Amino acid sequence: MVEPRRQRFDAPLALRSGASIAGYELVYETYGTLNAARSNAVLVCHALNAGHHVAGVYADRPDELGWWDNMVGPGKPLDTERFFVVGVNNLGSCVGSTGPMSTNPATGRPWGPDFPVLTVEDWVHAQARLADALGIERFAAVMGGSLGGMQALAWTTLYPQRVAHCVAVATAPKLSAQNIAFNEVARRAILTDPEFHGGRFYDHGVVPARGLQVARMIGHITYLSDDAMGEKFGRALRRHATDTVLRNDYRFTFDVEFEIESYLRYQGEKFSSYFDANTYLLITRALDYFDPALAHGGDLARALAPAQADFLVVSFTTDWRFAPARSREIVEALLANGRRVTYAEVDAPHGHDAFLLDDPQYMAAMRAWFERVHARVQDGGAAREALPSQEGAR
Amino acid sequence: MVEPRRQRFDAPLALRSGASIAGYELVYETYGTLNAARSNAVLVCHALNAGHHVAGVYADRPDELGWWDNMVGPGKPLDTERFFVVGVNNLGSCVGSTGPMSTNPATGRPWGPDFPVLTVEDWVHAQARLADALGIERFAAVMGGSLGGMQALAWTTLYPQRVAHCVAVATAPKLSAQNIAFNEVARRAILTDPEFHGGRFYDHGVVPARGLQVARMIGHITYLSDDAMGEKFGRALRRHATDTVLRNDYRFTFDVEFEIESYLRYQGEKFSSYFDANTYLLITRALDYFDPALAHGGDLARALAPAQADFLVVSFTTDWRFAPARSREIVEALLANGRRVTYAEVDAPHGHDAFLLDDPQYMAAMRAWFERVHARVQDGGAAREALPSQEGAR
C-alpha cells in the first residue's frame, strides 16, 4: 500500500534551453524507511510513459501495480526492507507533476505548447531539489531503464557527490539517427493531427487521439524484438466476434486481419485515452537532446569524467532500440576514467521491453548488485568511500 | 528514350479474394528488341512506389530516369542490347495502370475504396496476360527486388513453364510480425487522417497528405540501415535559412532540429504530393498477404515445388527489413526441391535500399548471372531445357 505525495518548489528553476520555470510541483512516492544515517535512499527514474508509481498498489486501486513492482518491494531485488526507495514523476509529465496540462500562472490556462522544452539534465536538477526536501544528501543508488538510465547517468556527472552507485539499464549515451527518426515520425503524427490545434487542444475539448495512437504504435514496435513479436504474434489471424470457426484464410480488408494489428491498435487506443500529447512531444525531445558528450567534442569519457559512483550497466541482446553496443560505449568511457563498472549483457529474447520483465539472469544480477550496495550501506562504506566528509558536504 | 504504352484487357480477371475485376489496363515500357525466337524477354517487377518506368528517360522529361536505370540499359548488368526488357505497372497502382483513382465503370466515379483488394498472385496473373499480348510465351528471366522479388517468386510457381530464370533480390517468403506492424502503422496513419474520407477523398478535392507523409517516413526508416542513417545524418543539426553560422547547439523546439528530421519530412512531403492513399493501402496489404507456404501448412519447399526455373537470390547484410536469413529460407526451400540456385549475400552498408544502389559486388553478381542467361538464350538452351516443345505449349 503506497500513497503519492506532492512537493511544491517555489524558487525558479533555470533550464538548459535558457528559459526558466517559476515554480513547480513534483509528485513522488516512497517505499521502505529512510535509516538514521539517511544513507539507504535509492532514486528510481522513469522512462517515457511511466511515473512516480514504481511499486505497490493504492488503497483505492488494488489492481494498479507500480511499473517496476517486480524489481522494487519487500524481498525483491531492490529490497524495500533494506532501502528507502523514491519514485518521482518528472517535470513536464501528465500523470501528476507540473506539466503542459497544468495551469500556467501567467495566463490562468493550461501551459500547452508554452511549457518550456526540457532536457534530461533539467529533470535531474528538479529531482535534486526533491532530494533536498526529503533530507537525502547522497543516494545509495540512482537507477533507471531506457530514458530513466539516461537520468541516472546524468546524476553521476551533475551531482557526483550525491550518487554512490548508478544503475543504468537498457540505455544509450545518446540517440542514433534512427532513434531520432522514430521519435520524429511519432511527433509528426501528433503535430499534424488536426485535433492537436497547435498544442491548445485543451481549449477545444478534444485530444489528438489519432496522432497519439500512431505514435504509440511506432513506439511499441521498437520496444519488442523482431523475434519476440514473431513468437508472440507471428502471422496469426485475428478471430473476430462473428467468426464461428478459427480462420485460416484472409478477409481481404484493411481492418484488423492479423493479431499483431489488433495488439498495436489496442495499445495505441489505450495510450491515447490517458497520455497528454504535449508531454509526449516534450519527452521524446528530451530523449533526442540527451548527448552528454556534445559539450566535450563528442568525447564520452571526458563527459563522464566527473562521475564518482560505482556503476552497474545492463543491456539485453535483442534490444535493437538501445543495443548492447550502446551500453558498451558507456562502459568503455567509464573504464577510461578508472571507474568501477559491472556490466551485464543479458541474453533475453524480449527486446527493449526486457528491462521491465522478469528475466532470471537480469533479476539475479540486480539482486546481487543491491546486496553489495546494502553491505556498503550497512558498514557506512558507501558514504565514506567517495565522500571525505559527509557532514561537511551537507 | 522510351515511351510508355498501354494495353487493355477486357476479359474479367478472377482475384484471390474471390472478387473479380471486369477489365483493366496495364501501362508498360519495353527496352531492347525481342529476338526472332522470342526467347530474350525479361520481366522486371516493381516494388511499393515504383512502376513501369524502369530505365531510360522520356523525350519530354529528360530528368526522369527509370528507377532501375543503373541495372537496366545498354551495357548495364541487364543489357538491353541483348535482352528485351519489359517494365509493367501493377494493377491497383496510381502511376498509370487501372487502380483506385481510375473510373469504376459501374458508377462513373473513381473506384476509391471499392477497388478490390489484391495479392501478389493477382499481379502475376495480370502480368501474364500482358506477356500473352506481347507474344512472350516464356521469359528468359523474371526479376524484382523487395515486393518485386515476391512477384518473381510467384511467377515460378504459378507459371513454371514460362520462367527460365528467376532473380529475387532483397525479398522474403512472407512478412514477419514486425514487417506487418510497420505496414499497419502506416495504414492507420492514412485511414485515420480526416482527409481520407473513407477512401473517397477524390470527391472532396483533398488528399490525406498528413497520413501519407507519416506512412512514407515510417517506410524510409525501414529502408535504411541504422549504420547508413548514422553515417549519412548522424546527429547533425539542420542549418536554417536564418542561421549565419553553423549551429552547434539546439533550438529547443519541435520543428526541424536534426538533419534526419529534415530528410524524412522532405521524403514524406514529396511522396504525399504524388502517391495515392488507396494504392498505398492496397500495396502494403498485398505485402502482408504474400505467404505462398500458407496453403501448404507452412512448408515453403512444398509451396515452391512447382518451380522449374534456375534462381539467383540476393540479399544484403545490413537489410533489416528483409534480412539475409529471409533469403536463406528461400534458398533452402529451393535446394530441397533440387533447383539450381545461386545465392549472393552482399556485404553492403545501405540496408534494404541497397537493391536500388550501385554496390560493385552486387552489380558484378547481377552482370555475371545475366551473362549466363544470355549464353543460354544464344544457344536456345534456356527455352529447350525446361520446355520440351515450345511450339506445342504456345
Query: Rounded to an integer, what is the distance from CA B322 to the centroid of its chain?
Result: 13
From the CA of A19, how many Å to the nearest CA of chain B? 10
- Which 152-181 residues of chain B touch chain A by CB within 8 A? 174-178, 180-181
Q: What is the pLDDT of residues A181-227, one digit of tens each?
A: 999 999 999 999 999 999 999 999 999 999 999 999 999 999 999 99
Q: What is the pLDDT of residues A288-310, one digit of tens each?
A: 999 999 999 999 999 999 999 99
Mean pLDDT by runs of 10 across the 394 residues of chain B is: 95 96 97 97 96 95 95 98 98 97 95 98 98 98 98 98 98 98 98 97 97 98 95 92 77 95 97 97 98 96 98 98 98 98 97 97 98 94 46 33
Smallest Cβ distance to B214: which of A176, A188, A281? A188
pLDDT exceeds cutoff 50 at A236: yes
Burial B256-283 (b: 16+ CB within 10 A, else e): bbbbbbbbbbebbeebbeebbbbbbbbb
The x, y and z cell numbers of residue B67, run together, are 528507377
Q: What is the structure's pLDDT at B393?
A: 32
How many Cα atoms within 13 Å fall on the side-chain side of residue B233?
Answer: 24
- Which 117-156 residues of chain B touch chain A by CB within 8 A? 117
The x, y and z cell numbers of residue B127, run together, are 502480368
Query: Rounded to an integer, what is the distance from CA B364 to the centroid of its chain?
Result: 21
The x, y and z cell numbers of residue B59, run together, are 523525350
Structure-derived torsion over alpha carbons of residues B31, B172, B199, A267, reported in degrees to the nearest 10 = -160
Measured distance CA(B291)–CA(B283) in Å, rounded:
15
Tell me if the pTM is above 0.90: yes
Does the structure's ipTM exceed the value 0.85?
yes
**Cβ of residue A45 closer than 8 Å to a chain B Cβ:** no
Measured distance CA(B138)–CA(B164) in Å, rounded:
7
Q: Do A192 and B214 touch (CB under 8 A)?
A: yes
Question: Which alpha helices (H) appear in chain A, and where do they start and end?
Answer: 120-134, 147-158, 177-191, 209-223, 226-232, 259-272, 277-289, 300-304, 324-336, 360-378, 381-386, 390-393
* Mean pLDDT rounded to a whole number for chain A: 94
Contacts of B222 (CB under 8 A, 6+ apart): B182, B320, B321, B352
Nearest to A41 by CA among A87, A90, A76, A89: A87
Query: Which 3 state secondary structure label does DSSP give A14?
Result: strand
CA-angle at B148, arms to B383 and B344, nearest 5°: 75
Amino acid found at A139: F
Closest residue in A to B253 (Cα) is A117
Q: Do A181 and B221 touch (CB under 8 A)?
A: yes
Mean pLDDT for A27-51 is: 97
Structure-derived torsion over alpha carbons of residues B137, B141, B142, B146, reported in degrees to the nearest 10 = 180
Nearest to A149 by CA among A174, A133, A168: A168
Closest residue in B to A117 (Cα) is B252
Please report which confidence band the pLDDT of residue A381 belongs to, taking 50, 70 and 90 as the band edges: low
Task: Please confirm, yes or no, whether A97 is among the known catalytic residues.
Answer: no
Catalytic residues of B: 146, 319, 352
Strands (E), B235-393: 310-316, 341-346
Measured distance CA(A330)–CA(B110) in Å, rounded:
57
Concatenate the DSSP letters of all residues of B158-172 into one string. Answer: HSGGGBSEEEEES--
pLDDT exceeds cutoff 60 at A394: no
Contact A152, A166 (CB under 8 A): yes
pLDDT exceeds cutoff 60 at A390: no
More confident residue, A237 or A248: A237
Measured distance CA(B162)–CA(B129) in Å, rounded:
12
Nearest to A291 by CA among A122, A121, A174: A174
**Cβ of residue A250 closer than 8 Å to a chain B Cβ:** yes
Residues of A in Cβ contact (< 8 Å) with B184: 217, 258, 260-261, 264-265
From the CA of A39, how many Å to the nearest CA of chain B? 37
pLDDT exceeds cutoff 50 at A387: no
DSSP B103: E
Smallest Cβ distance to B176: which of A180, A226, A281? A226
Please report which confidence band the pLDDT of residue A244 belongs to, taking 50, 70 and 90 as the band edges: confident
Contact A309, A325 (CB under 8 A): no
* Pairing outcome for strands B84-88 and B41-45: parallel
Q: What is the structure's pLDDT at B387?
A: 43
The x, y and z cell numbers of residue A60, run together, are 483505492
Q: What is the structure's pLDDT at A239?
A: 85
Q: Do B235 and A175 touch (CB under 8 A)?
A: yes
What are the two backbone dihedrals, phi and then psi, of residue B174, each rounded to the nearest 5 degrees?
Answer: -175, 160
Q: Do B221 and A177 touch (CB under 8 A)?
A: no
Measured distance CA(A288)–CA(B137) in Å, rounded:
56
Q: Do A188 and B281 touch (CB under 8 A)?
A: no
Q: Do A265 and B187 touch (CB under 8 A)?
A: no
